[in-house]
Structure 1
Amino acid sequence: MQDFVVVGGGVMGCLSALNLLEAGCRVTLLERGECGREASWAGGGIVSPLYPWRYEEPVRALANWSQGFYPTLAAQLLAATGIDAEVAPCGLLWLDHAERAQALAWAQTHQQPLSEVSSPFIYQRVPQLASGYQSALWQADLANLRNPRLLQALRARLLQFAEFQLHERSPALALLCDGQQVTGVRTATAEHRADAVVVATGAWTGDWLAQAGVTVPVVPVKGQMLLYKREPGWLKSVVLHEGRYAIPRKDGHILIGSTLEHAQYDKRTTEEALQSLRHSAETLLPDLAAMAPVAQWAGLRPGSPEGIPYIGPVPGLDGLWLNAGHYRNGLVLAPASCRLLADLVLQREPALNPQPYLPAGRL
C-alpha cells in the first residue's frame, strides 16, 4: 500500500486525497487552517469558466470532463455523507456580449449547446433584470454548485476512510528529502513520511515551493464577493454582464462577484469593493437596491499563466507532485485535475492527455 502526504485542504487537496484513497492508498492531509476555507469556499461555484471561448484547449478539456462528472460526484457524496453539494443546472445568460461571433463559433467547433437569444426570452427567464438588454448568449445546461457544502461533503467522506489522517491547523513547514528523493513533510510537531507528496496549496504554492528551490509562477489574486438573500426561486439562472455575475442558490441566496485584485495575501474586504459590487448588483437586478447585502468576503485565487494548472511530477525532486495553479477555475476543473493526478501518480491510463499540464518544461 502506497503512502501519500497531501499538502493543502482545498478542493484540489481533498479530491486528490479521495481519488488516492479510492485506489487503496493511505493518505495524510495537512491543512494550515480548516479544510475548504480558502478559495474553494470563497468562489461562486459556476461549473464553467466565465468566458469558456477565451481559454486554450487544456482548460477546455479539464472543464468538459469535470462538467460531465460533477452530477455523479455530488450524488456519490450525498449517498455517503448526507450532505448535498446542490449541483443545479440553472443555465447562464451572457447579456449583450461583444464576443458573440467568437463564442458561437467556439460552441459550434466544440459542439457546445450555446445559442443566441433575444429580449423576450431573456425577460421570460429572468424578469427581475434591469430593462434594456437586447440579446444574450444562453447555455441551458450549465450548473452551479454550493461550494462550501461540496467541501463539507468531501471532508466528511475522507474521514470515513480508515487509511486517512487529517491534520488541520498544521502548516507544512518543509519537505523532507533524502538527496533528490522527497520522503515526506515536516510540520511544527511531527515528520510525516510518505512514498510521495502532493502539493495542492493554491495561492500559496509559489511561495511554499520556493523554500525547496522550485520556482512555480503561481501568485495570489484576490477576489471579493457579496451575498444577498431573496426568497427561493427569485432568480432562476446565472446572469453575467461586463465581467460581473449574479448566481442563484436554491435557498434564495444570491452571490454577486467578483473583483480581481493583486494584493498579495491581504484578504481584508474593502469599502471600495463593496460599493463597486453593490453597483453591479443593482445595475443587473434593480430590486436589490432596496436591500443590504448580508455578507461580504474575499478569497485568494491561485493565479497562473493562461490559467493552465500544473499537474504532475516536479522535475529534479522524485516523489514530489503538483496539483495547483487553476486561477479562476479551481472548482470548475477539480474533478478532472484530481483524476488526472491520481492516474499519473498510480501509473494508470490517464483520463486526459497529461502533456499540457506537466510541470516539466513549464517551470
Structure 2
Amino acid sequence: MNVLVIGAGAIGLQSAFLLAQAGCKVMVIDQSAAGQEASWAGGGIVSPLYPWRYSAAITALAHWSQDYYPGLGEALKQQSGVDPEVHETGLYWLDLEDEDQALAWAHRHSRPLHRVGMEQVHAAVPSLGEGFSSAVYMPGVANVRNPRLLQALRAALAKLPNVTIIEHCPVSGFINDGARVVGVQTAQGEMRAEQVVVAAGAWSGNLLATLGLKLPVKPMKGQMILFKCAEDFLPSMVLAKRRYAIPRRDGHILVGSTLEDVGFDKTPTEDALESLRETAIELLPGLADATVVKHWAGLRPASPEGIPYIGPVPGHEGLWLNCGHFRNGLVLAPASCLLLTDLMLDRSPCIDPKQYAPAGRL
C-alpha cells in the first residue's frame, strides 16, 4: 500500500515507521523540518500530568504506551544509533487537591501510586523546596528526551528503503477523485497516494477545512525553560500547582509549562519566562543561582477532552486522521500509531477504536 503521511512529529514519524515495517511504501511530508513543532517543544513525561483526571479513552492509550516505551527506546537506539534516553525517575505530585480521587483511580487501574510523608520526599529529593505539605508518588514513571526521540525516529526511517521524507513542503489541500482522496497539493506540486494520513498536530484542523470539514483541533501555546545543573541535582520528577520539573540524565532540568490560547503565535514572552522561573525556584530553590539555558514555546494540538482523532474520515475514502492529542502526544504516540496501523491494514486493533473514531466527531 502506498501511504502519504502529513506531519513529521512524534505521531507522524511513528505512524510512518509502523506502516513501513508492515511493508507499505511511505512518504512523510512536513511544512518545516521533521520533529520541530510540539513534539520537540514538550517536556517528554511518559504520563499525562494528572492521569486520574482524564477519560477512559486517554487512560487506555497511556497505559499501553507507558509499558511500551522502554522497549521502544532501546529498539530505536539499536536501529538508529541515537539514544532517546527513556529515563525512569518516578514522579512526585505535591499538595494535590484531589489526592483521594488520585489514589482511588490508581487502585481501580492497579497503578503503583501511594502517599508518602514529606520527610521521606525531602530525603529522596534534597533539592525540593519547603512549604509543601503532602505528596503522592508513582515509581517507574519515565521521561523521554523528546528531541532525541525524534532524531532516532528520523534516522531509523532514513535507513528504510520504502520511506521518503520531504521537509519544508507545506500542504495546501487534497486531491479528490469523486469521494476518494488520492493525494495532496503541496508547494512542490501534486503528490499522490492510495491512503493519506493527517498527523499535522495543531495544523490538522486547517487542512480538514479545505474539505469543508470542521475538525475541532486548535493550537494552545506552551512555554518552557531549561536549566543546567549537576547530574544528581534532581533525582525524580516533581509536579505542583500545574507546573513540573523534569530531570535529564546529564543534569539539564526542564520546567514548564504555560497554557495560552493565542492562535499560532509561538513567540516566547518575558512574562512567561519570569513566571516559569518563579515556579522553578519555588519548587527547587537551588535554581535561583542557575542560568536559564533556553526558553521556547510550542503549539499543542488541543481537542475536546484531549481525546485524539484516530481512524478513517467518513465520506472521504482513503483519508485517515491521527491527531488532536493535546498535551499528551508523546505519551500516547506508540498506542495511537499502532491503532492507526491496525485499522489501515485491517488487523485486529490493539485498543477498542470506537472512542477515537472521527465518525460523529467532525
Per the alignment, residue 179 of structure 1 pairs with: 178
Per the alignment, residue 17 of structure 2 pairs with: 18
CA positional deviation for 1:190: 2.5
Q: 2-side partners of 1:189 and 1:271: how far apart? A: 38
| One-letter code aligned to 1:130 | G
TM-score by length of 2: 0.99
Q: Secondary structure at the match of 2:171?
A: coil
Q: How does 1:164-243 map to 2 (within 5 A)?
A: 164-243=163-242
- Number of aligned residue pairs: 362
Residues 224-283 of structure 1, C-alpha deviations (whole Å, 9 max, x = no match): 000000011210100000000000000100000000000100000001101100110011
Q: Does 1:320 align with 2:319?
A: yes
Q: 2-side partners of 1:121 and 1:36: how far apart? A: 39
Residues 31-74 of structure 1, C-alpha deviations (whole Å, 9 max, x = no match): 10011100000000000000000000000000000001111111
Q: 2-side partners of 1:354 and 1:20: how far apart? A: 18
Q: 2-side partners of 1:236 and 1:288: how far apart? A: 15
Per the alignment, residue 113 of structure 2 pairs with: 114
| One-letter code aligned to 1:323 | N
Q: 1-side partners of 2:4 and 2:95: how far apart? A: 47
Q: 2-side partners of 1:88 and 1:167: how far apart? A: 31
Per the alignment, residue 100 of structure 1 pairs with: 99
CA positional deviation for 1:120: 1.6
Give ranges in structure 1 of 5+ residues lacking alignment. none
Residues 146-195 of structure 1, C-alpha deviations (whole Å, 9 max, x = no match): 00000000000111111111100011121111011010112122221111
| One-letter code aligned to 1:298 | A
CA positional deviation for 1:219: 0.3
| One-letter code aligned to 2:207 | W
Q: Is the 8 A contact 2:229 2:290 kept in 1?
A: no
Q: 2-side partners of 1:223 and 1:261: how far apart? A: 6
Q: 2-side partners of 1:161 and 1:278: how far apart? A: 43
Q: Secondary structure at the match of 1:173?
A: strand
Q: Secondary structure at the match of 1:62?
A: helix
TM-score by length of 1: 0.99
CA positional deviation for 1:132: 2.8
Query: Aligned-pair RMSD on alpha carbons?
Result: 0.7
Per the alignment, residue 158 of structure 1 pairs with: 157
Consecutive aligned runs of 4 or more in structure 1 exceeding 4 Å deviation: none
State which drifts further: 330-339 or 164-173.
164-173
CA positional deviation for 1:129: 0.9
| One-letter code aligned to 1:154 | L
Q: 1-side partners of 2:207 and 2:290: how far apart? A: 42
Q: Secondary structure at the match of 1:331?
A: helix
| One-letter code aligned to 1:150 | L
Per the alignment, residue 248 of structure 2 pairs with: 249
| One-letter code aligned to 1:63 | A
Per the alignment, residue 41 of structure 1 pairs with: 40
Give ranges in structure 2 of 5+ residues lacking alignment. none
Per the alignment, residue 77 of structure 2 pairs with: 78
